[in-house]
Amino acid sequence: MRARLALLATLLALGAPALAQKPATPPPPPPAQQADTGDIDLAFGAYQRGQYITAFQEATKRAQANDPAAMTLLGELYAQGLGVPHDDAKALDWYKLAAAKGDRNAMFALAMFNLQGRGVAKNPDEAARLLSEAAKLGHPAAQYDLGLLYLQGQQFPQDFKRAADLFTSAAKNGNPEAQYALATMYKEGRGVPKDVDKAMLLMGQASLAGNIDAMVEYAIAEFNGTGVKKDEAGAAQLFQKAANRGSPIAQNRLARILMAGRGMPANPTEAIKWHLISKAGGDSDPELDLFASKQSASVRDAAQKEADKWMATAAPRS
């Protein structure tokens, strides 16, 4: 599902670890298998290939045979307006039918609708109930989001240990947001015993899976040799990857690396370019300002041109 959860303004104010305030993005509904033949679900295959009208037609056939995964897929198609007109009311109807038959993806989708007020009045309590049901059935994104609710302490009493348990389950199922959240808890010793080695192992897993906050923290640890083997070159490459994905912190660190020539060759133009981009993203740095002021006008102009080009074409942070 592509629906997003907006849960917390800040966890630090509640004494919770500094986690990324965004939900996991769960995969599309899993393909149902033909009960008798084991053939791959044609509806889901069409959905994956972007053939949404075919997906709708095939899912409709399967839904008429009481297939809950097909019902969930129909809900997704209506929710996103893929192959059919966007219609939250119809999406809700299909999700409800699938959820009543025990489909965890449908439960999660309904939770998102209740949180966002899509097709229904906002209902955080109902969303929390649905997340609990989906989490019991092993839905990784639901486990992660439910863990955030236990950190928030509104729908449920604040419980760091319960949050850590939920993050652990989701992390084992490969959820990178949960891996990052759990790494942060191990790093701070909140809800779990403090364990820097475990924190860095999980941080590395989340980084490899593409969690941008984990990339930045793992690169910082790698550059400094904190909890992992010191590797300035490896850290520089990771900072560059996160910088290209829009992290102002990574952009600032990359600028400093290019200024000092540690981990990759010094490059004043590139250093100033990334400093300007980072600064536009809200991460100022007086030392880099001073460094830029000492460079020639041609270097500064080239850096500004490259920064403007990057900012004009860059996709939003991903």
Q: What is the DSSP string of 201-257?
A: HHHHHHHHTT-HHHHHHHHHHHHHTSSS---HHHHHHHHHHHHHTT-HHHHHHHHHH
Residue with tokens 């049901």: 133
Residue 174: inside a domain: no
Domain range for 285: 251-313
Cα separation, 204 vs 296, in Å, equals: 39
Cβ-count burial 105-131 (b if 16+ within 10 Å, e if not): bbbbbbbbbbbbebbeeeeeebbbbbb
Q: Measured in Å, how far apart are the chain's first and last C-alpha atoms?
A: 16
pLDDT, tens digit, 9 for 90 and up, residues 84-139: 999 999 999 999 999 999 999 999 999 999 999 999 999 999 999 999 999 999 99
pLDDT at 121: 93
Residue 227: inside a domain: no
pLDDT at 35: 39
pLDDT, tens digit, 9 for 90 and up, residues 265-307: 999 999 999 999 999 999 999 999 999 999 999 999 999 999 9
Cα separation, 75 vs 185, in Å, equals: 35
More confident residue, 16 or 143: 143
Cβ atoms of residues 227 and 199 within 8 Å:
yes
User: What average pLDDT does range 10-26 have in this prediction?
Assistant: 40
Q: Which amino acid is at 193?
A: P
DSSP designation for 14: G
What does the CA dihedral 247, 250, 256, 262 come to, rounded to 10 degrees? -150
Positive or negative, the Cα torsion across 40, 169, 149, 17? Answer: negative
Cα separation, 87 vs 79, in Å, equals: 6
Q: Does the pLDDT at position 217 exceed 70? A: yes
Q: Is residue 3 very low, low, confident or very high in pLDDT (cuts 50, 70, 90)? A: very low
Residue 262: inside a domain: yes
Mean pLDDT of the chain: 88
pLDDT at 260: 96
pLDDT at 155: 86
Residue 156: inside a domain: no
Q: Is residue 318 very low, low, confident or very high in pLDDT (cuts 50, 70, 90)? A: low
Positive or negative, the Cα torsion across 221, 227, 232, 235? Answer: negative
Residue 284: inside a domain: yes
Q: Is residue 18 very low, low, confident or very high in pLDDT (cuts 50, 70, 90)? A: very low
User: What average pLDDT does range 10-24 have in this prediction?
Assistant: 40
Cα separation, 213 vs 142, in Å, equals: 20
Cβ atoms of residues 101 and 71 within 8 Å:
yes
Residues counted in the chain = 318
The number of domains in the chain is: 1
Residue 31: inside a domain: no
Residue 274: inside a domain: yes
Supply the DSSP string of 45-56, one letter for each residue. Answer: HHHHTT-HHHHH
Residue 291: inside a domain: yes
pLDDT, tens digit, 9 for 90 and up, residues 50-96: 999 999 999 999 999 999 999 999 999 999 999 999 999 999 999 99
Q: Does the pLDDT at position 10 exceed 80? A: no
